[in-house]
Structure 1
Amino acid sequence: MGAQTNTQRSFSKLSKSLPTLKHLFDHDPFTNKPFGLTNIVLQDEILSIISFCSSMALPTTSHELKRFKLTHLFTVIKTSKKPLHRDVLSSVMSLISINLFRPLPPPSPAFPITSSTLAEENEVVVCSTIPSLNWLQLEVVYDILLWLVINIDTQTLEKHIDKTFLLGLLSLFDSDESKERESLKNVFHQMYYKFTKYRSFMRKAMSGVFLEYIFETERHNGIAEMLEIWGSIINGFAVPLKEEHKVFLKRILIPLHKVKGMQSFNKQLSYCVYQFVEKESELGGFIVRKIMKYWPQANSQKEIKLIEELEDLVEKLDPKLYRDLALPFCSHMTKCFKSLNSMVAERALYIWNSEAFVTMVYSAMEEVFPVIIRGMENIITSHWNENIKELAHNVKAILQEMNPILYHKTLHQNRFKYFEATQIHRL
């Protein structure tokens, strides 16, 4: 019995004397002194973790253990007082690559990624709120990668992160796991600012994804996240804007307004567009005209989003552009005023609460009054929704107060033209 107790004490002393993985990371990796037992334990423990966590075909019962080991590795890395040895860093980067770079499942045809139907979008959201076992492990891998990008010097990281690695990350934006896309966005964003020599390449690579989405597939999960990165990039553009940056606006941001699933990334897309207008206000007129060109024909939710975006754009425009833009813009909005979809018509009519829009109308009253008044008369006499009719009466009151003489003159001319048209029709 006494011998057994002594043995237990000996093993206890031995286990306490063995260096931990954290201690090994804190050990100077560039010393010329032999590592001895320290080196053996370091290699064994690191290789054991990496070997175990590099397997993507673990049984379900091992998933929690894998997450535990990854978390342990991350804790050691981020609490280390000494720089990571180059061999250790290489092994960790290998672990990251093996876990992150995997084939993504194809999008389910039952739930299109950019569906414009609210029911389908709700289905996707409900499913994505339940974290998968795989994501619980990947989350730690992304945390490790983000920590390395933030804390390791650029020159050292560039030995492990090249264009192939960046393209691999970019492909993961199509993941159907929203939490993964959020983590990926943070990592990719940090890399953009860390690796200045790769910035042009990263912009072109993202542009390629956008172009494929717009003109070929119209299916991608990560458009919103990539646009969010672009919003920050555009914010950092110097003025005057380079031609390549304007090309991105014209060939990618504007055409993104025409895709069916625009509602899923409208907020991020609008922010990118606003950034361009704030940097060069003369681009505003071009943007407004192009958005009107891509107007949807049978998608009321998309129409409402675009009306909101146009209203915000008008408020950001240089007032010098109002007069030239007034007639095409007011003609377009009048079509929205008359929409048989009451939600579209109501949202469009609320644009009269915008001081900028009223100023635009005032800047070109002679041209726009006939169009708007004719539209209001049409609503009052033939629209099916009483609330829309009431709003049309309110608009007429605004116009009459704005310029009573021109209002009555235009009203009389419109009614006379209508009378003439009916007489000709009878003949």
Structure 2
Amino acid sequence: MGAAAAEVVAPRPPSAKRKSTTLKFLFELEKPDGGLLPGTAKLPPPSPEPEADSLIDKIASCNRAFTFVDAAEREEERDAKRDRLVEVLGAVRSSGGKRQPLDHRVMVALVEMVGANLFRAMPPPAYPALPPDGADEEAPAVALAPSWPHLQVVYDILLSVVAASDARTLRNHVDRAFLSALLALFASEDPRERDRLKTVYHQLYSKLTCERAFMRRSMAAAFLRLAYEAPAAERHCGAAELLEICGSIVNGFAVPLKEEHRMFLARVLLPLHRTRWAHTYHRQLAYCVLQFVRKEPGLADAVVTDILRHWPVTNCQKEVLLIEELEEIVELLEPVQFQRLAVPICSRIARCVSSYSSQVAERALYVWNNERFLELATASPDVAERILPAFVASVESNLERHWSKCVQQVTASVKSLLEQVAPDLYARCAADLATRRSEAEAAAAVRDARWRRLEAAAAAAAK
């Protein structure tokens, strides 16, 4: 028994210490001073992935730009390049779908390829500038880029790169020269290219927060050139797209507005009303202006004053657009503001009512169909007395001698409306108008009699 007990309690020989596999041990394998613990070896640097190298070679093979008009270019080469571009697009989209950032070397190759294909000198206008009285300026001619089969895929690649990259990656590869070159491409006459550019530029503005001020200044410089430096016959094809981007930017401005933003409205946006091609981008321009007025109603005074200052004289289409813009501004005004602006706004609209252009006259008459305008115009007796005489004169003039039967019918409807909302005032204004007309006719008769006496005296003296 004793021997058996001794065998049980006999100590075991010392065993080797078990190696630790905790995270702390693994993190401490490499000393802070860069040395390695005994028995450990530093892992070799990762070797470049063969897939990335293959993709980079494929991207580099797409740097040659085809014009699609050079007879020396082979159709097989153009088709092969488009196939390679489609493969690159698939690879970029696959990386974005897996939420894996693109390799640095791949990004460098992509930016270089995009610049080689997109950044080019714009060809001269495909259609000559129209004369000042050109009849086709309502529908400007459209010229499509012959190289669009390649450009379309390149723009899709750029869009996918911007969508798949974070702000830090874009800052490292997209510089100001790249942004300026993109902005210059808005001069393209191809609407398909301008639409893709609008999307790309807007997405870059959203992600590159550090470059937003530079991008706004660049767009402002393009607008200023269009308003002040461009020849009268030159049209900026990308003005509508740039203004659409500006509308989204203005919509995000915080209230109260900064002085920089007010200056952008006064010095950049409002002067765009004066150009000959304003009808090609007026819808986007009016949206930007209305956004400013909504955020800060006090700007309505400056906006209305500037629009009335640059009112066209012979451009009927532009007059119709400005009447619509004034009507939209009136809808945003408070009664106190309308009292200040009622006379200049209504005087201009009243003159448009008696315009010889049937389109201008009808559009000015339809302003009275706006419930908000009718409410503001008739809410205060003082305002009604100041604005109604001008309308009464234009209405009576149209009914008597306007050449368009349609305008006369609309004028009769407006007269009936005014007689319903302010019967006494309309009757008094009509009586005053008749008195002024009779006095003017009497004065004209006196002048004619005086001239006849002078002519008779001169004839008698000549004998």
Question: Which bin holds the TM-score, normalised by the shorter protein?
Answer: 0.7 to 0.9
Amino acid at match of 2:444: H
The correspondence for 1:154, drawn from 167, 176, 184, is 167
The correspondence for 2:218, drawn from 205, 209, 215, is 205
Residue 294 of structure 1 and its aligned partner are, at CA, apart by 1.2
Residue 391 of structure 1 and its aligned partner are, at CA, apart by 2.1
* CA deviation map 1:136-161 (0-9, x unaligned): 11111111111221221211221111
The correspondence for 1:69, drawn from 68, 76, 84, is 84
Amino acid at match of 1:371: A
Alpha carbons of structure 1 residues 123 and 324: separation in structure 2 relative to 1, 3 Å:
closer
Aligned to 1:56: 65
Alpha carbons of structure 1 residues 108 and 313: separation in structure 2 relative to 1, 3 Å:
same
Aligned to 2:436: 417
1:119 aligns with 2:119: no
Task: Determine the C-alpha separation between the residues in 1 that align with 2:350 and 2:240.
Answer: 31
Aligned to 1:18: none
Task: Determine the C-alpha separation between the residues in 1 that align with 2:132 and 2:202.
Answer: 27
Task: Determine the C-alpha separation between the residues in 1 that align with 2:266 and 2:156.
Answer: 36
Task: Determine the C-alpha separation between the residues in 1 that align with 2:404 and 2:354.
Answer: 11
Alpha carbons of structure 1 residues 67 and 402: separation in structure 2 relative to 1, 3 Å:
same
Q: How does 1:256-335 map to 2 (within 5 A)?
A: 256-335=272-351
CA contact (8 A) 2:127 2:141 kept: no
Task: Determine the C-alpha separation between the residues in 2 that align with 1:78 and 1:175.
Answer: 27
1:394 aligns with 2:413: yes
Alpha carbons of structure 1 residues 60 and 349: separation in structure 2 relative to 1, 3 Å:
farther
Task: Determine the C-alpha separation between the residues in 2 that align with 1:327 and 1:267.
Answer: 26
CA contact (8 A) 1:115 1:261 kept: no
Residue 48 of structure 1 and its aligned partner are, at CA, apart by 3.7
Work out which structure has the larger RCO, using CA pairs closer than 8 Å and 6 or more positions apart in sequence.
1
Residue 357 of structure 1 and its aligned partner are, at CA, apart by 1.6
SS of residue in 1 equivalent to 2:136: helix
Q: How does 1:189-268 map to 2 (within 5 A)?
A: 189-217=202-230, 218-268=234-284
SS of residue in 2 equivalent to 1:54: coil
CA contact (8 A) 1:336 1:345 kept: yes
Alpha carbons of structure 1 residues 206 and 193: separation in structure 2 relative to 1, 3 Å:
same
Task: Determine the C-alpha separation between the residues in 1 that align with 2:428 and 2:139.
Answer: 51
Aligned to 2:108: 90
Residue 91 of structure 1 and its aligned partner are, at CA, apart by 1.1
TM-score normalised per structure 2: 0.79
Task: Determine the C-alpha separation between the residues in 2 that align with 1:253 and 1:332.
Answer: 22
* CA deviation map 1:352-384 (0-9, x unaligned): 100122123213111112211111111112211
Alpha carbons of structure 1 residues 133 and 64: separation in structure 2 relative to 1, 3 Å:
farther
Task: Determine the C-alpha separation between the residues in 2 that align with 1:403 and 1:96.
Answer: 66
CA contact (8 A) 1:149 1:190 kept: yes
CA contact (8 A) 1:104 1:175 kept: yes
Where does structure 1 lack aligned partners over 5 or more consecutive residues?
A: 1-29
Task: Determine the C-alpha separation between the residues in 1 that align with 2:137 and 2:409.
Answer: 35
For the aligned residues, what is the CA RMSD?
2.1
The correspondence for 2:149, drawn from 136, 146, 165, is 136
Amino acid at match of 1:151: A
Task: Determine the C-alpha separation between the residues in 1 that align with 2:337 and 2:298.
Answer: 8
CA contact (8 A) 2:198 2:245 kept: yes
Residue 320 of structure 1 and its aligned partner are, at CA, apart by 2.1
Task: Determine the C-alpha separation between the residues in 1 that align with 2:244 and 2:148.
Answer: 22
Alpha carbons of structure 1 residues 115 and 368: separation in structure 2 relative to 1, 3 Å:
same
Amino acid at match of 2:184: S
Task: Determine the C-alpha separation between the residues in 2 that align with 1:377 and 1:75.
Answer: 69
CA contact (8 A) 1:380 1:393 kept: yes
SS of residue in 2 equivalent to 1:159: helix
1:32 aligns with 2:82: no
Residue 49 of structure 1 and its aligned partner are, at CA, apart by 2.1
Residue 123 of structure 1 and its aligned partner are, at CA, apart by 6.0
Alpha carbons of structure 1 residues 257 and 120: separation in structure 2 relative to 1, 3 Å:
closer
Answer with 269-278 or 290-299: which moved more. Answer: 290-299
Task: Determine the C-alpha separation between the residues in 2 that align with 1:63 and 1:120.
Answer: 36
CA contact (8 A) 1:63 1:133 kept: no
* CA deviation map 1:153-181 (0-9, x unaligned): 21122111111111111111111111111
Higher helix share: 1
Task: Determine the C-alpha separation between the residues in 1 that align with 2:46 and 2:426.
Answer: 94
Instruction: Tell me which structure has the larger Cα radius of gyration.
Output: 2
* CA deviation map 1:321-363 (0-9, x unaligned): 1111111111101111001011111111111100122123213
Residue 237 of structure 1 and its aligned partner are, at CA, apart by 0.3
SS of residue in 2 equivalent to 1:144: helix
Aligned to 1:27: none
Alpha carbons of structure 1 residues 401 and 135: separation in structure 2 relative to 1, 3 Å:
same
Identity of aligned residues (%): 39
Q: How does 1:157-168 map to 2 (within 5 A)?
A: 157-168=170-181
Residue 118 of structure 1 and its aligned partner are, at CA, apart by 5.9
SS of residue in 2 equivalent to 1:179: helix
Equivalenced residue count is 389
SS of residue in 2 equivalent to 1:325: helix
Aligned to 1:79: 94
SS of residue in 1 equivalent to 2:141: helix
Aligned to 1:101: 119
Amino acid at match of 2:347: S
Task: Determine the C-alpha separation between the residues in 2 that align with 1:116 and 1:227.
Answer: 26
CA contact (8 A) 2:56 2:106 kept: no
SS of residue in 1 equivalent to 2:172: coil
Task: Determine the C-alpha separation between the residues in 2 that align with 1:90 and 1:115.
Answer: 48
